[in-house]
Structure 1
Amino acid sequence: MRTTFTRRALMALTVAALATPVFAQDKTTVRLSIPASETDQRSIALAEVFAPAVADFITYQPHYNGSLIAQGSELESIASGDLEMSVTSAQELAQFFPEFSIFATGYVHQDAAHQVAVFNDPLMDSFKQTAEDELGVKLLSVVYLGKRHVNLRQTKEELTVTTPADLAGVNLRMPGTDAWQFLGKALGANPTPMAFTEIYTALQTGSVDGQDNPLPTVVDAKFYEVTNQVALTAHLVDLNYIAFSKAVWDKLTPEQQETVQKAADDAAESGRQKQLAKEEELVAFLEGEGMEIYEPDLKAFREHVQQQYVGSEFAASWPEGLLEQINALGN
């Protein structure tokens, strides 16, 4: 009896020992590196919507203001296994895969709903697969950042922007990638590459004449303190993609993957709706801060910008017929 009891006891202990890791398994640590502040809508949506939804199996560790990974290096860090999550732009992806530049082209996306339709359409499948296969980055969802406008130090009396010709000689801060710099030139300005964290001081000292960003960013970063006008050029319906490590994704169970995907989509939708509502409120706020806000000749800008892309090296990388497919998904 003693031998039987001992064997049974050992078997029970063995089963318990083997089962223990299933119930006491450590959570997966997912570090987010984002160049934006903690109060940015992207940061808030991920912290308040994404993080709680995946809390059962993921320890979410956000790092703001580029404090963990320098802006522009996040994709490489995910690819090398040094980062698990970030947000990225089409412009940054275009550095690795030039065809992504189409999603950063002036006046291609029409509005926030059009962005979602494009991202979820089969036309995006090959783009997503390329990012996964060649960079180890899974693009989970698309985040609406708002319509980008030209924001200048000069008063409207000193410079009124009506057509692209009015931006000649204006040093306009743009992100440093080739795609961004091309867009700045297409607008008629002299694009100046600069990290986001340096913009405020550059505007304050006059190192640049202006910058382009959506109105919520102008407010969040307090650019209205060091500028005097916004020309509502709406030249880009800006976006970020939620970028996730494919290596981490592959280690998750199908159920966990489904939860992560839904959490990313829900976070993106939450941020999108808040951003749209916020945009509606900000014109009055900025005017109250003394800013001059007006709409230039959008037809002139649209025609000029599109003409710059025709025959350019960026358009050469676009899959044939893709622009027409994107346009067909709009209104």
Structure 2
Amino acid sequence: MSTPSMIRRGLLATASALALAGLMTPIAQAQTKLPLRISTPAVADDWHAKMWTVFKDSLEKSAPGEFDVQINLNASLFKQGTEPAAMARGNLELSSISAFDIAKLVPEFSIFTAGYVVQDPQQQQKIFNGPIGQELFKTVSEKMDVTVLSTIYLGTRQVNLREVRNVRTPADLKGVKLRMPGSKEWLFLGEALGATATPLAFGEVYLGLKSGTIDGQDNPLPSVRSAKFYEVTKQIVLTNHLVDGIFLAIANKTWNALTPAQKQKVQTAATAAALFNNENRIKEEGQIIDFFKQQGLTVTTPDQAAFRTHVQQVYLNSEYAKVWPKGLVERINAVK
């Protein structure tokens, strides 16, 4: 026979159980979210950092409650260049990886570290969104255990000189001490352009230009502005010698665990992120030339066809080209 005290204890126990269930529900829901950790060396005000917010917002709209997207900027989660290995080990879900990173494990991809292979951002997208991209990304997936979702336009590198000179062909850069990043691939590119490639840390370039240790440097124009190289140079030569890109990629372990519907949502988010970055970066590059002219710099356009023919021939006669699939240069050149 139940007493009033027993009834009260029963009611309290039931209430406690319901309250505990209510507290646990959000925790349980949170645990069902699939974590998508993103590691990037990009700084907050760069387009290829902002694009990850577009990626996150897209998933929150299309798949509310399904993913826990965690954006880590400034290489705060993984050091730049170590992301592919982290994804292959299953320690990281998403990152943007460079052609140089990919070429370490997929040598044929080194073709995209060579000068004048990709002509402009529009061709870049057509190459990687077409049959060539499909074939190469399949190999990337097999060898690196990551799936490339979209191609990010990083900028087109130009030559920036401390003194004005008439540059029409690679021969006109003879004797010019052109600062390049220190790796052998970058130095080879500088020599292929006709200059004397000079390795120098990025943080030392401003002083090197000011003092005359170097005669010039190469970078995408937004980098020239942000580093204030225009203060110590007098000319921009629009060589367009390297259309640079990075690749938004997801670990195969993560990708293969998704449902077909989830894969579609993640792919759509990656495409939206790439489009956001690419459109804004192209717009910025188009407007920035006026800025340099206002700063008093001379902006010239050389014979880009002469540069392209010369540089491609230098690469084709080098050790680098030996690992490129036969006919790939011609196939890329044919993409319009």
| TM-score exceeds 0.5 | yes
Structure 2 Cα separation of the partners of residues 130 and 311 of structure 1: 25
Q: Per-residue deviation at 1:76?
A: 2.8
Residue in structure 2 matching 1:249, options 248, 255, 264: 255
Q: Which residue of 2 aligns with 1:186?
A: 192
- Whether contact under 8 Å (1:95, 1:177) holds in the other structure is no
1:105 corresponding residue in structure 2: 114
Is residue 50 from structure 1 mapped to residue 55 from structure 2 by the alignment?
Answer: yes
What do residues 44-77 of structure 1 show as CA deviations (whole Å, max 9, x unaligned)?
A: 2222x1121124413222212x444333333233
- Measure, in 2, the Cα distance between the counterparts of 1:41 and 1:175: 22
Q: Which has the larger radius of gyration?
A: 2
Cα shift readout 1:256-299 (whole Å, capped 9, x = no counterpart):
22111111111111111112222221111111123221112323
On the 8 A contact 2:152/2:274 being kept in 1, the answer is yes
Q: 1:122 is matched with which residue?
A: 131
> Of 122, 131, 144, which residue of structure 1 is paired with 2:153?
144
1:82 Cα shift? 4.0
Who is 1:86 aligned against? Answer: 95
Letter in 2 for 1:315: A
Deviates more, 1:248-257 or 1:313-322: 248-257
Report the equivalent of 1:35: 41
Q: Is the CA contact 1:155–1:292 (under 8 Å) kept in the aligned structure 2?
A: no
Q: Are the counterparts in 2 of residues 33 and 69 from structure 1 also a CA contact under 8 Å?
A: yes
Alpha-carbon deviation of 1:175? 3.6
What one-letter code is carried by the residue in structure 2 that aligns with 1:52? D
Out of 259, 279, 297, the residue aligned to residue 265 of structure 2 is: 259
* Partner amino acid, structure 2, of 1:93: I
TM-score (norm 1): 0.82
Pair 21,62 (structure 1): closer, same or farther in 2 beyond 3 Å:
closer
Structure 1 segments (4+ residues) deviating >6 Å: 19-22
Measure, in 2, the Cα distance between the counterparts of 1:85 and 1:128. Answer: 16
SS in 2 for 1:54: helix
Structure 1 counterpart SS, 2:143: helix
Identity, % of aligned pairs? 45
Q: CA deviation at 1:100?
A: 0.5
- Matched letter for residue 37 of structure 1: V
Alignment match, 2:3: none
Give the whole-Å Cα distance in 1 for the aligned partners of 2:80 and 2:45.
17
User: Are the counterparts in 2 of residues 28 and 58 from structure 1 also a CA contact under 8 Å?
Assistant: yes
Alignment CA distance shift 1:170-1:80 (3 Å):
farther
State TM-score, norm by structure 2: 0.81
- Give the alignment of 1:195-214 within 5 angstroms: 199-200=205-206, 203=209, 208-214=214-220
CA distance in 1, matches of 2:142, 2:287: 42
For residues 35 and 21 of structure 1, do their structure 2 counterparts lie closer, same or farther at Cα, with a shift above 3 Å needed? closer
Contact 1:168/1:189, CA 8 A, preserved across alignment: yes
Q: 2:72 aligned to 50, 62, 73, which one? A: 62
Give the length in aligned residue pairs. Answer: 314
- RMSD of aligned alpha carbons: 3.0
Contact 2:38 2:69 in 1 (8 A): no
Structure 1 residue identity aligned to 2:95: S
Deviations 1:195-243 (A, max 9, x none): 6566556556665443322222322443334433211111122211112
Counterpart contact for 2:157–2:244, Cα < 8 Å: yes
Structure 2 residues without counterparts, runs of 5 or longer: 1-13
Matched, 1:75 2:80: no
SS in 1 for 2:105: coil
CA distance in 1, matches of 2:215, 2:38: 32
Whole-angstrom distance in 2 between the partners of 1:191 and 1:150: 12
Aligned 8 A contact 2:105 2:143 in 1:
no
